[in-house]
C-alpha cells in the first residue's frame, strides 16, 4: 500500500469514505442506503457509488428487507458485511506451541485453535505459523504475542524462548504472509485484553502480572500502554531479590523468576512429593496440603514484595494477576496481598485493588485481536464517523473530513457488534463492552501541537524545515499545525536569528504574551520563586528563608504572600504554580489523608495559596516537577522516558513516561524513599522500618559527623574536591550563598546534612565514600523500578550531588549491577543540571 503521506489526495479521500461506509455497516449490523447517507453525512450519489464498488468486490452484501408495516412503500434493501470483507488474526507464541484466533471485522471470533508447534527453533516455528495463518482467507492484519521482550522489533534474550534472541519476527512473518504483521510482548497484549474485555476495563493505571513460564508485566500508565525507552518495560521477572541466589539465564543472580516462577514452584513440589506435580495438581494440593500451600504462599509473598515496590513507584489503581497457579483466594494471591500491605504505603494500599483475571488464559489472544482490529478499514472509519448526537441536532454534520489520519486507540465496538467474549464458537463467560475513550484523531492532533510547541520552547527563531527534522512529523502536518498555532496566537512569524543560505524557509517562535508565569517551590530552607514570560524565559529568581515546621499552613501562606507581591509587580494576569514536598492527588488537588508527612495531609494546598492571591493556583509534587524541568531544560532534554531521583535525606522520584509526567492513580508515583531496604532497619517517619529515606537521614551518618575536623577555610586554598569539573564542591566551599544560589556557607559546619556535604566537598574521604555508598543504595533500591519502567535516562539531583559525582557514580554502578541486562543496556545515568532551581522551573513548565 502507498504510504498515507504520499497517497494522492483523491485516493485518500476515496479510502476515508470507504472506511466510513464499512464502519457504519459494521456498527449497525444491517443498514439501508438511506440510513447510510444519514449516518455518514455523505451525499447520496457518493454513497451509492461506493456501495456499488463494495458490492462488486463482495466486501458488502445486500439483502431484500421484509415488509414490517412501519412505513409505506417498498421496503428498503439492507446492507451487511459481505463474505469478502475479511478479518484479522491474533496469535500467541509460547513454549508450548501457538494459539491462533480469527475474527471478523465486527470483532466476533470465527475460529480459535491451539497448534502443537515446536517453537524452540524460530525459523521452523515461523514457517509453521505462516502456514496456519495463510489458510484463513483475506486478512487485514495479524498481531502476534511473544513470550519474550522485544526492542526495536528484535527479540531480546528470555528464559521462555531463548532461541528467538536476535530475530525480527514481525518482518519474517510479514514476508511470509504478504500482509501487515505486528509482534508484541505477550504481557502487553494480555494487559490490552484485560483493559478491553476484562477486569481492568475503566482503569487508567494498571499493572498486569502474568505468572506463567516466566513472570511478565504489562503497564498501563495514564491510559497508555507503556513500552519504555527501548521497548523492554515490564522486566519484572528479572528484578533481583537475592544477590547471592541462583544464577539466572540473564547473568544476574537471584532474579524473581529463579525463585517464584511456576517452574520453580512445581519443581519444589515435585521434589517434596517424589513425582511430577502439574499446575492443576498444585492448585488442588494447596487447598488441603500445608506444604503445598506454604510453598505457593511464599512465592506469592516474594512476588508481592516486588509488587509493593511497583505500587510505591508507579501507584497503579489495579494489579491484575494471571497464570496457571493463580486463583481467587488462593495462596499466591493472598501472599501478594500480604506483602503489598506490609511494604507499600498505607494510602497506596487502600487505593490499590488486586484482582485475578477472568479471561481464562485468553487475555493475550483477545488483546492481539483488539490491536489487529484497530488497523482495519472498519476501525479507521469508526474513529472518523460523525457523532450521532451531532447528526441528530438541527443542521447536523453534512461534511466528512477527507484527510483524517487518526492514531490507533482502544477498540470500541459499536452497540450492536459482539465482543470477542460473547461471539464465536469458543466464547466463555459474560460479555463486556469495550471502554470508550475520546476521539483519537483529536488526541493525536493535540499531541502534535504539543510536540511543535515543545520544539520551539527555548530555541528562539526556528525554520519550519528544521521543525520537520526535529519533530519527525510529516511536512504537511507541520505546515498545517503551525498555521493553526499562529491563528491561535501561540506562535508567530519572525526573522531568522542568523542569515541562511539556500531557499528561505519561514521562521517561527513562540508568541510573547504580556502575562507572566510564576513558579514557587517550598523546600528547605524556605521558598524559591522564579518569574518567566509566556515563552518560559526566566526574568527573575529569588528565595525567601522560611523554616519548615510541623504545621505547613504558615509556609503555604508565606508562599501566597510572596506570590501576591510578585503579582503586584508583574501584573495581576500572571499564572501561578507551586511545588510542594508531598504527593498531590491528580484529580482533587488535595494532599492524601494519610500522607507520609503529617504536616502535608488532608487539605487542598492550592486553596491556601489562592486565598492569598485571589486567583487559581496549580500545585504539584516537587520531584515530579523537577523531572519535568530536567526533561524540558536540563540534563534529560529530548528524552521521553526519564526517572528523576532526588538524592537527599527526603528521597523521592519523578517519572516521565512516554513524554508525559506520570503522577499515579492518587498522586503517589515516585515515593521511592519508602521502598524497603532492610526488614529490621532504622525506624522511618512513615512508621515502617528499613525504608530508603531512613538510611539517608543525618542520624545514619553520625559516625562521620562527630569529632571530625571541618573543611579548611577558603583562605587556606581550595579543598582537594574543589577543582574543575566539580562545581558542586566549588559552591559548597565558596562562602555565603547569594540569592538564587546554594544555601550552604563556609565557616563552622552545622550538624546533619549540611556538615556531611561540607566534609565531602572539603576532601574528606570517608564522607565521600559515604555518599558513594548512599548512591549505591539508592540505585540498588530503585533498580526494580528501572526494570519495570525501562527509562532511557536516570537523572540524579538533590542536595547529595552538590559535593561532587559520588552519589551519581554510586547510582550508575548499582543500576548496571542490579538491573536486568536488557534494561541496563539502554540506560544513561547523569547528574541534574538545574540544581536548586529545578522545582520552581518545573512549576513554570507546568504552566506552559
Report pLDDT digits (tens) over 207-241: 999 998 788 899 999 988 999 998 889 889 889 88
Please, are residues 78 and 32 in contact by the beta-carbon 8 Å criterion? yes
Q: Which residues contact 827 (CB under 8 A, 6 or more apart)?
A: 786, 791, 792, 793, 794, 815, 816, 819
Q: Which of 413-422, 456-465, 665-674, 710-719 has the highest mean pLDDT?
A: 665-674
382 phi-psi bin (left φ>0, alpha ψ -120 to 50, beta other): alpha
Structure confidence at residue 178 (pLDDT): 84
If DSSP states are collapsed to H, E and C, what string results for 468-532?
HHHHCCCHHHHHHHHHHHHHCCCEEEECCCCCCCCCCCCEEEECCCCCEEEEEEEECCEEEEEEE
Burial of 559 (0-12, 13-18, 19+ CB in 10 A): buried
Sole residue written with cell 538510611: 695
Residues contacting residue 170 through CB under 8 Å, at least 6 positions apart = 144, 153, 181, 182, 183
Give all strands of the β-sheet with 139-146 in edge-to-edge order. 109-115, 97-104, 87-94, 139-146, 181-185
| 568-579 pLDDT tens trace | 888 778 888 988
Q: Which of 65-79, 118-132, 311-325, 418-432 has the highest mean pLDDT?
A: 311-325
pLDDT at 206 over 90: yes
CA distance 122 to 99: 16
> Has residue 338 got a pLDDT over 60?
yes
Report in angstroms the alpha-carbon separations of 628 from 11, 516, 653, 779.
Answer: 42, 19, 11, 21
Contacts 24+ apart (CB under 8 A), 238-244: 238/787, 238/820, 238/821, 238/822, 238/823, 239/306, 239/309, 239/783, 239/784, 239/787, 239/788, 239/820, 240/783, 240/818, 241/302, 241/305, 241/306, 243/818
Tens digits of per-residue pLDDT, 585-624? 888 888 876 666 666 777 778 888 888 888 888 989 999 9
Indicate if the pLDDT at residue 739 is higher than 50: no
Of 89-98, 476-485, 749-758, which range is least confident? 749-758
Dihedral pair phi/psi, residue 732, rounded to 5°: -65, -30
Set of cell numbers at residue 99:
494459539
| pLDDT above 60: residue 535 | yes
- Using the predicted structure, report yes or no on whether residue 419 has a pLDDT greater than 70: no
Assess whether pLDDT exceeds 50 at residue 752.
yes
For the residues 653-679, what does the mean pLDDT come to? 90
Helix 475-487 to helix 464-471 angle (10° resolution) is 120
Q: Percent of the chain beyond pLDDT 90?
A: 25
Residue entry with cell 501576591: 564
How many other C-beta atoms lie within 10 A of the C-beta of residue 78?
Answer: 19
Mean pLDDT for the stretch of residues 189-193: 93
Mean predicted lDDT score pLDDT of the chain: 80
Q: Give the whole-number percent of the chain exceeding pLDDT 70.
A: 81
Sign, CA dihedral 795-800-803-804, equals negative
* pLDDT of res. 400: 31
Show Cβ contacts of residue 327 under 8 Å, excluding neighbours closer than 6 positions: 283, 333, 356
Note the pLDDT of residue 442: 60
Q: 211: number of CA atoms within 13 Å, CB side? A: 32
The DSSP letter of residue 255 is B
- Grid coordinates given for 331: 495462596
Mean pLDDT of 669-694: 85
Half-sphere exposure of 709 (CA within 13 A, CB side): 7
What is the distance between the alpha carbons of residues 775 and 287, in angstroms, rounded to a whole number?
Answer: 45
Most confident of 147-161, 324-338, 535-549: 324-338
The owner of cell 493472598 is 334
31-55 pLDDT tens trace: 888 888 888 778 888 888 888 888 8
> What was the pLDDT predicted at 432?
31
Question: How far is the C-alpha of 669 from the C-alpha of 623, rounded, in Å?
Answer: 10
210 vs 702 pLDDT, higher one: 210
β-pair type (181-185, 206-211): unpaired
- Classify burial at 13, counting beta carbons within 10 Å of its beta carbon; exposed 0-12, middle 13-18, buried 19 or more: middle
Judge whether residue 441 has pLDDT over 90: no
Q: What CA–CA distance (Å, rounded) separates 386 from 16?
A: 13
In 169-259 the beta strands, taken as DSSP E runs, fall at 181-185, 206-211, 215-221, 224-226
Section 524-551 average pLDDT? 82
Q: How far apart are CA 486 and CA 775, in angstroms?
A: 47
- Residue 5 above 50 pLDDT? no
Q: What is the pLDDT of residue 133?
A: 80
* Stretch 78-89: mean pLDDT: 83
**Can you give the pLDDT at residue 3?**
42
With a cut of 90, say whether residue 629 has pLDDT above it.
Answer: yes
pLDDT category at 726 given cuts 50, 70, 90 is very low
Alpha-carbon radius of gyration of the chain: 30
- Which pLDDT band holds residue 513 (cuts at 50, 70, 90)? low
Look at residue 403 and tell me whether its pLDDT is greater than 80. no
Cell of 568: 503586584
Specify whether the CB–CB gap between 361 and 96 falls below 8 A.
no
Cell of 344: 507499600
Q: Which of 342-346, 351-355, 498-502, 816-820 is the least confident region? A: 498-502
Other C-beta atoms within 10 Å of 45: how many? Answer: 9
User: Which residues lie closer than 8 Å to 328 by C-beta, 6 or more apart?
Assistant: 356
Q: How many residues appear in the chain? A: 848
Tell me the pLDDT band of 721, cut-offs 50, 70 and 90.
Answer: very low
What average pLDDT does the segment 493-517 reach? 77
Does the pLDDT of residue 374 top 50, yes or no? yes
Amino acid 745: pLDDT: 34
Segments in 690-834 forming alpha helices (H): 702-705, 727-733, 753-761, 765-789, 806-818, 821-825
SS3 of residue 622 by DSSP: helix
Mean pLDDT, rounded, for 155-171 = 83
Residue 797 has pLDDT above 70, yes or no: yes
Name the 3-class secondary structure at 730.
helix
pLDDT for 613 equals: 83
Cα–chain-centroid distance for residue 745? 41
Which pLDDT score, from 0 to 100, does residue 791 have?
95
Q: Which of 106-115, 596-605, 636-645 has the lowest mean pLDDT?
A: 596-605
Terminal-to-terminal C-alpha distance of the chain: 40
- Is-contact 410 435, C-beta < 8 A? yes
Whole-prediction pTM: 0.78
How is residue 738 annotated by DSSP?
A: P
Where is average pLDDT lowest: 7-11, 44-48, 130-134? Answer: 7-11
Which pLDDT score, from 0 to 100, does residue 458 have?
64
Q: What tens digit of pLDDT does each residue of 88-108 get?
A: 899 998 888 888 988 888 788
Least confident of 363-377, 538-552, 619-633: 538-552
Whether pLDDT at 135 is above 90: no
How buried is residue 5: exposed, middle or buried, by Cβ count under 10 Å (0-12/13-18/19+)? exposed
Closest CA to 519 of 536, 500, 501: 536
Amino acid at each position: 500500500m502507498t504510504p498515507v503521506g504520499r497517497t494522492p489526495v483523491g485516493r485518500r479521500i476515496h479510502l476515508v469514505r470507504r472506511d466510513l461506509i464499512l464502519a457504519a455497516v459494521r456498527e449497525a449490523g444491517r443498514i439501508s442506503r438511506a440510513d447510510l447517507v444519514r449516518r455518514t453525512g455523505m451525499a447520496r450519489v457518493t454513497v451509492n457509488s461506493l456501495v456499488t464498488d463494495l458490492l462488486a468486490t463482495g466486501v458488502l452484501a445486500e439483502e431484500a428487507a421484509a415488509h414490517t408495516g412501519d412505513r409505506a412503500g417498498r421496503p428498503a434493501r439492507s446492507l451487511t458485511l459481505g463474505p469478502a470483507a475479511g478479518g484479522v488474526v491474533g496469535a500467541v507464541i509460547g513454549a508450548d506451541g501457538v494459539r491462533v484466533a480469527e475474527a471478523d471485522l465486527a470483532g466476533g471470533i470465527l475460529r480459535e485453535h491451539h497448534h502443537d508447534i515446536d517453537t524452540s527453533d524460530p525459523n521452523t516455528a515461523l514457517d509453521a505459523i505462516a502456514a496456519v495463518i495463510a489458510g484463513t482467507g483475506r486478512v487485514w492484519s495479524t498481531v502476534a504475542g511473544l513470550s519474550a521482550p522485544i526492542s526495536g522489533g528484535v527479540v531480546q534474550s528470555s528464559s521462555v524462548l531463548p532461541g528467538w534472541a536476535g530475530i525480527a519476527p514481525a518482518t519474517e512473518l510479514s514476508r511470509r504472509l504478504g500482509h501487515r504483521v505486528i509482534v508484541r510482548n505477550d504481557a502487553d497484549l494480555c494487559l490490552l485484553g484485560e483493559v478491553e474485555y476484562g477486569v481492568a476495563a475503566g482503569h487508567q493505571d494498571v499493572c498486569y502480572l502474568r505468572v506463567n513460564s516466566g513472570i511478565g508485566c504489562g503497564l498501563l500508565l495514564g491510559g497508555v500502554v507503556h513500552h519504555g525507552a527501548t521497548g523492554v518495560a515490564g522486566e519484572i521477572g528479572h528484578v533481583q531479590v537475592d544477590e547471592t541466589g541462583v544464577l539466572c539465564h540473564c547473568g544476574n543472580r537471584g532474579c524473581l523468576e529463579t525463585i517464584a516462577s511456576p517452574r520453580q514452584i512445581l519443581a519444589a513440589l515435585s521434589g517434596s512429593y517424589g513425582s511430577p506435580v502439574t499446575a492443576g495438581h498444585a492448585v488442588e494440593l494447596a487447598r488441603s496440603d500445608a506444604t503445598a500451600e506454604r510453598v505457593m504462599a511464599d512465592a506469592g509473598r516474594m512476588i508481592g514484595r516486588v509488587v509493593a515496590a511497583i505500587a510505591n513507584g508507579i501507584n497503579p489503581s489495579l494489579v491484575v494477576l494471571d497464570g496457571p497457579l493463580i486463583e481467587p483466594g488462593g495462596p499466591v494471591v493472598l501472599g501478594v496481598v500480604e506483602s503489598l500491605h506490609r511494604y507499600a504505603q498505607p494510602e497506596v494500599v487502600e487505593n490499590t485493588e488486586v484482582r485475578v483475571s477472568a479471561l481464562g488464559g485468553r487475555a493475550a489472544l483477545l488483546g492481539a485481536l483488539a490491536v489487529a482490529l484497530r488497523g482495519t478499514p472498519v476501525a479507521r472509519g469508526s474513529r472518523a464517523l460523525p457523532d450521532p448526537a451531532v447528526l441528530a441536532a438541527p443542521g447536523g454534520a453534512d461534511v466528512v473530513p477527507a484527510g483524517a489520519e487518526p492514531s490507533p486507540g482502544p477498540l470500541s465496538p459499536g452497540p450492536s457488534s459482539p465482543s470477542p467474549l460473547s461471539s464465536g464458537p469458543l466464547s466463555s463467560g459474560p460479555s463486556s463492552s469495550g471502554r470508550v475513550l475520546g476521539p483519537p484523531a483529536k488526541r493525536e492532533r493535540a499531541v502534535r501541537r504539543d510536540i511543535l510547541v515543545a520544539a520551539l520552547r527555548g530555541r528562539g527563531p526556528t525554520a519550519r524545515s528544521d521543525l520537520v527534522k526535529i519533530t519527525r512529523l510529516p511536512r504537511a502536518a507541520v505546515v498545517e499545525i503551525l498555521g493553526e498555532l499562529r491563528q491561535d496566537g501561540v506562535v508567530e512569524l519572525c526573522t531568522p536569528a542568523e542569515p541562511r543560505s539556500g531557499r528561505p524557509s519561514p521562521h517561527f517562535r513562540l508568541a510573547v504574551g504580556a502575562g507572566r508565569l510564576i513558579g514557587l517551590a517550598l523546600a528547605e530552607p524556605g521558598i524559591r520563586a522564579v518569574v518567566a514570560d509566556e515563552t518560559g524565559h526566566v526574568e527573575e529568581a529569588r528565595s525567601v528563608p522560611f523554616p519548615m515546621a510541623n504545621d505547613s499552613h504558615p509556609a503555604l501562606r508565606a508562599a501566597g504572600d510572596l506570590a501576591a507581591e510578585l503579582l503586584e509587580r508583574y501584573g495581576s494576569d500572571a499564572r501561578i504554580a507551586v511545588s510542594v514536598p508531598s504527593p498531590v492527588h491528580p484529580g482533587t488537588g488535595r494532599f492524601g489523608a494519610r500522607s507520609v508527612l503529617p504536616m502535608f495531609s488532608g487539605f487542598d494546598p492550592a486553596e491556601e495559596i489562592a486565598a492569598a492571591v485571589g486567583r487559581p493556583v496549580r500545585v504539584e509534587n516537587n520531584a515530579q516537577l523537577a523531572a519535568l524541568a530536567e526533561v524540558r531544560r536540563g540534563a534529560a532534554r529530548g528524552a521521553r522516558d526519564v526517572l528523576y531521583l532526588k538524592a537527599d535525606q527526603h528521597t523521592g522520584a519523578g517519572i516521565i513516561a512516554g513524554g508525559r509526567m506520570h503522577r499515579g492513580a492518587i498522586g503517589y508515583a515516585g515515593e521511592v524513599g519508602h521502598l524497603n531496604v532492610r526488614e529490621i532497619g532504622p525506624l522511618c517517619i512513615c512508621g515502617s522500618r528499613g525504608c530508603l529515606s531512613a538510611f539517608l537521614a543525618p542520624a545514619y551518618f553520625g559516625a562521620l559527623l562527630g569529632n571530625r575536623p571541618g573543611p579548611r577555610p577558603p583562605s587556606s586554598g581550595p579543598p582537594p574536591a574543589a577543582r574543575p569539573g566539580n562545581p558542586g564542591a566549588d559552591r559548597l566551599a565558596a562562602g555565603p550563598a547569594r540569592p538564587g544560589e546554594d544555601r550552604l556557607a563556609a565557616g563552622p559546619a552545622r550538624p546533619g546534612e549540611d556538615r556531611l556535604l561540607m566534609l565531602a566537598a572539603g576532601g574528606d574521604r570517608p564522607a565521600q565514600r559515604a555518599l558513594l555508598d548512599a548512591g549505591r543504595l539508592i540505585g540498588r533500591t530503585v533498580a526494580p523500578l528501572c526494570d519495570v519502567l525501562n527509562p532511557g535516562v536516570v537523572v540524579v539531583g538533590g542536595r547529595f550531588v552538590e559535593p561532587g559525582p559520588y552519589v551519581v557514580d554510586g547510582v550508575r554502578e548499582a543500576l548496571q549491577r542490579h538491573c536486568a541486562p536488557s534494561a541496563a543496556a539502554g540506560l544513561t545515568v547523569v547528574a541534574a543540571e538545574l540544581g536548586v532551581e529545578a522545582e520552581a522551573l518545573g512549576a513554570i513548565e507546568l504552566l506552559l
